Structure 1
Amino acid sequence: MIVPLKGSWALVFGVSSGMGAAAARALAAEGCHVIGLHFDTAQGQEDAANLAAELRELGVRAHVFNQNVASAATRAELVPVIAELTEGAGVRVVLHSVAFGSLVPFIPTAGQAQQVSAKQMTMTVDVMAHSLVYWTQDLVAADLLGHGAKVYALTSSGGTRVLPAYGAVSAAKAAIEAHVRQLAVELAPRGVAVNALRAGTTLTPALRKIPGSDGVAARALAANPHDRLTTTEDVAEAIVLLSSTDSSWITGNVIGVDGGEAVVA
C-alpha cells in the first residue's frame, strides 16, 4: 500500500552535496522533514546551510549538523536530539551517503610512491561502512526505527571491480553490502527494510576525486543504454519510490539504479 511521506522524517548522512543533497530535496518535495549530517569545511557548511533554507521553503522542517558521522560522541549527542525533533514519530527514511575514504593504491607504482596504511584502511571502512551499523544500533535502541522504516546504503560497482587507488573504498563498499544483508535479516521482525542502492556512474564530487575518473565516466557513458550517465536525481527518485510504502518485503538487496549500465558495461 502506498503511504504518503508527508509529515514523516528522514535522516540523511552526507547531506551537503551529491546524492545526499538530491535525496533531501526529493524527500522534502514530498513533504518529508529532513535531519542532515555532514562533515565539511567552510564551503560545505555554507552549502548545507543553503540547502536547509531551500528545504524550508518547501514547507518542511530541516535541521543540519556539521559533525563526524563516524564518531561515537556524535551519535551520543545527536540521537537524543533526533528523538526530540521527531517528537515520538521516529525516522521513516535513513540514507547513508558517506563518501570519505583514502584513495591510495595498495602497492606503490611508478607514478605513486605512497601505499595505503593500516590507519587509512581502517578509517575508510569504518566511516564508509561500519558507521551504518553503529547508527542503526543506536536508532533502534532509541526506538526511532519503527514498522515501515527504510534504511538505505549507497554502494557502487567499485565494490566488485578494480579501479586505480580504489582498494580501500572498494573494501568499504563490499563491507556495507554485507552489513545491509545482516541488518535486513535482523530488522525484519520489526518491519524495517534495509537495502543498498548501487548507483550508476554519477558526476558527484566523490567521483571526481578518483584518479582517472574522466575515463571511468566516458566508458560508462558509452556503455549506458540510455546514452547518458546516472544523475543524483535518478537515485533520489528511487529512494522516494521505495520509501512510499510500509512494506518491508523488499529488503536485503543491492538494487541497481543505473539505467542498465551494469548489465552492459
Structure 2
Amino acid sequence: MPLKGSWALVFGVSSGMGRETARALAGAGCHIIGVHFDLAEGREQAERYAESLGELGVEAHFFNRNVAAKHARAELVPVIRDLTSGAGLRVVLHSVAYGTLTNLLPAPDDQEERAEEVSPQQLSMTVEVMGHSLVYWIQDLVRAELLPRGAKVFAMTSAGGTRVLPGYAPVSAAKAALEAHVRHLAVELAPRGVAVNAIRAGTTITPALRKIPGSEKLIAHCRDVNPGGRLTRTEDVAEAIVTLSSSDSSWLTGNVIGVDGGEALVV
C-alpha cells in the first residue's frame, strides 16, 4: 500500500470529485486534509463526512475556507506543515467548482433560455477561483517545502475548456487557464520530481453539473453515445487518481488525462 501513512490535500472535499477521491485515498491509507466552502448545513455534512473517513483508520481534518483567499493559505499552510510533521503532501487535488454560469453576451430575445452577459467581476472571480488559485497554492506549498519528490498534483478540468456550452463561458475560460497552469507548473516542478496533471472527467452527475444550463440534455446525449454504455462516475475519477498517485515516478506530467470511458472520442 504505497499511499499508506501519506497525506493528501483535497480542495472541494465536500462534494463531487473531491469527496469521492478523498474517500478512495483514505481507503488506500492516506490521511486527508480537506478544504471546502459551505454554509451551515453543508458545513455540518462535511464534518460528518470527515468523521466517516476517520473510521477508515486515517486522520481527516476539514477546513471550511475560501480556497482563493490569501488569508486562507496563510492560515492553512502552517497547519499542513504541522499535521504532516514537515514531511509534506503526497497528493494535491484541486477540485473547485465555484463560478458564474452565464454567457459573454446577452441572449437574443427569441431564445428559450435567457442569460445575462457576464460582468467583469463575475469573469474575474470565476477564473481566479477555478483557475489561478491552483498557482497560488502551489507557490505557497513549494515555499514551505511541502511538495517532496514523488508528490502528485491534480487539477480537475472538463471538456468545456475547449468546447462551447451554453452558459458555460466564464467556467470555460477558467478551465482553459487551469490547463495552461498545469503545463507550466509541470515543467517548473519537473526538477523537483513533482508531477502535475489535469484530469478531464467525462460527463458525471455532480451538483456542479446540475447547475449548468441544459445539463439534462447533455446528460442524456452523453449517456447514449459513451462507448462504455454509461456516464462517468465519481468513483472512476477517484480510482484513476489513486492509481496515478501510487507511483513514485514523475515522468507522467503536464497532461490532460481523460477519464471518460472514451466519451471525448465520440461526442
Unaligned runs of 5+ in 1: none
Partner of 1:32: 30
User: C-alpha deviations, 1:190-238, integer Å up to 9, x for none?
Assistant: 0000000000000000000000000011111111011100000000000
Partner of 1:9: 7
Partner of 1:210: 212
Amino acid at match of 1:205: P
The alignment partner of 2:93 has SS state of strand
Q: 1:188 aligns with which of 190, 194, 197?
A: 190
Partner of 1:124: 126
Partner of 1:145: 147
Q: Displacement of 1:84 after TM fit?
A: 0.4
Counterpart-to-counterpart distance in 1, 2:44 and 2:90: 27
Q: 1:55 aligns with which of 53, 56, 60?
A: 53
1:96 to 1:113, Cα distance in 2 relative to 1, 3 A: closer
Counterpart-to-counterpart distance in 2, 1:47 and 1:157: 30
Kept in 2: contact 1:12–1:96 (CA 8 A): yes
Counterpart-to-counterpart distance in 2, 1:73 and 1:247: 33
Partner of 1:199: 201
Partner of 1:71: 69
Q: Displacement of 1:127 after TM fit?
A: 0.1
Partner of 1:102: 100
Counterpart-to-counterpart distance in 2, 1:71 and 1:12: 16
Kept in 2: contact 1:10–1:94 (CA 8 A): yes
Counterpart-to-counterpart distance in 2, 1:207 and 1:6: 32
Partner of 2:165: 163
1:230 to 1:178, Cα distance in 2 relative to 1, 3 A: same
User: C-alpha deviations, 1:82-121, integer Å up to 9, x for none?
Assistant: 1001112100000000000100111111242521000000
The question of 1:93 aligning with 2:95 is answered no
Partner of 2:221: 219
The alignment partner of 1:88 has SS state of coil
Amino acid at match of 2:8: A
Kept in 2: contact 1:17–1:47 (CA 8 A): no
| Aligned-pair identity (%) | 70
User: C-alpha deviations, 1:65-90, integer Å up to 9, x for none?
Assistant: 00000000000010000100111210
TM-score (ref. length: structure 1): 0.98
Counterpart-to-counterpart distance in 2, 1:26 and 1:137: 27
Counterpart-to-counterpart distance in 1, 2:242 and 2:13: 16
The alignment partner of 2:150 has SS state of coil
TM-score (ref. length: structure 2): 0.97
Counterpart-to-counterpart distance in 2, 1:89 and 1:32: 13
